[in-house]
Amino acid sequence: MRGSSNDQSTTVRKKIGKRLILMMMTSGVMVIAAIAFVRLGRIDPIIPFDSTVIAADRIGISENMDTGFDTYLLNASLFLQPTGTIYDAIGLDPIMESQGIYDGPNKTYTAYSFFIKNFCAEIVDIDYVMTLEEVSYGMDNHIRILVIEDDVIDRIYQKEDSSDESEDIPRDDRLPEVTFFESETNAFEGKIIELEPHEVKSFRVIIWADQQDPDIIDQDSRGHIKAQISFKISGTQYPHTSTLTDRKLWFTLIEYCIVDLEIRYEEDDDL
């Protein structure tokens, strides 16, 4: 009987030992998988970098022309009056002097100004694109987006009108070239040419609902747009990707910057 009890105890100990080994192996695999998922998967860690440590081969972004280029991400919430305005009612001079968010009178238009800096040791070109990530109640149908790069007016971007516009709508002589959105999801794209080492350039977007757009009649004041403007050094892969494997890797954060914008209508009572 004693021998039988010893055999049973030995068998139980062996089973427990095997289970412990299996649990340790499973835990190890899960840890390795979690690390791989973070490094190569869809988790995009926001890692502000220290410009005193990483000062080469990157671009920086800031709302201030002189400081604050130690991040790659900016966020801004912009509010508009649903009734809209027209281009010639927009005061451009105050916007040219502004940094960050600027609201026009009664929020009939809004602007966001920020700055791009080249920390590379060589001249670089920078590609940029504005994507519309979320749109509700057709707000993109009558929104206008004026892009001003380095205080030089570029052009106005808008979605192609679904209604026939009158040909005799009065236009201000200053009105820049109007270009339709690239697609349903891309508002515009462009390139900053030959940004010198340590050079800073301004980038401004002015947004308003156009009173002269026939689509504004059917607007819903609850509309909103979530958009992103991304900047990357020309020749590099899309943000978060490696030029070798096209997998998402944290170290490519230094090659691009992004601006997240949320644009909403604000009722008259809230102004």
Q: What Å distances lie between residue 57 and 122, 123, 255, CA to CA?
A: 9, 10, 7
The per-residue pLDDT for range 64-111, each reduced to its tens digit, is: 999 889 888 999 999 998 888 999 899 999 999 999 999 999 999 999
Residue 237, pLDDT > 60, answer no
Task: Please give the Cα distance from 208 to 79 (Å, whole number).
Answer: 10
Closest CA to 195 of 100, 60, 78: 60
- Predicted confidence band of residue 230 (pLDDT cuts 50, 70, 90): very high
In this predicted structure, what is the pLDDT of residue 141? 87
Give me the phi and psi of 209, to 5 degrees please: -95, 125
CB contact set of 171 (below 8 Å; sequence gap of 6+): 87
- Considering the chain, what is the average pLDDT of its residues? 77
Residue-wise DSSP of the chain: -HHHHHHHHHHHHHHHHHHHHHHHHHHHHHHHHHHHHHHHSS--------TTT--SS-EEEESSSSS--S-SEEEEEEEE-TT-B-GGG--HHHHHT--EEEE-GGGSEEEEEEEEEE-SSS-EEEEEEEEEEEEETTGGGTEEEEEEETTEEEEEEEPPPSSPPPTT----TT--EEEE-SSSSEEEEEEEEEEPTT-EEEEEEEEEEBTT-GGGGG--TT-EEEEEEEEEETTS-STTB-TTT--B-GGGGGGEEEEEEEEEE--GGG-
**Domain-wise residue ranges, the chain:** 1-43, 59-270
CATH architecture for segment(s) 59-270: Sandwich (2.60)
Q: Which one is predicted more confidently, 94 or 55? A: 94
- Predicted confidence band of residue 271 (pLDDT cuts 50, 70, 90): very low
Q: Which one is predicted more confidently, 159 or 174? A: 159
Do the beta carbons of residue 196 and residue 227 sit within 8 Å?
no
Residue 209, pLDDT > 60, answer yes
In this predicted structure, what is the pLDDT of residue 18? 62
What number is the average pLDDT over the span 57-62?
89
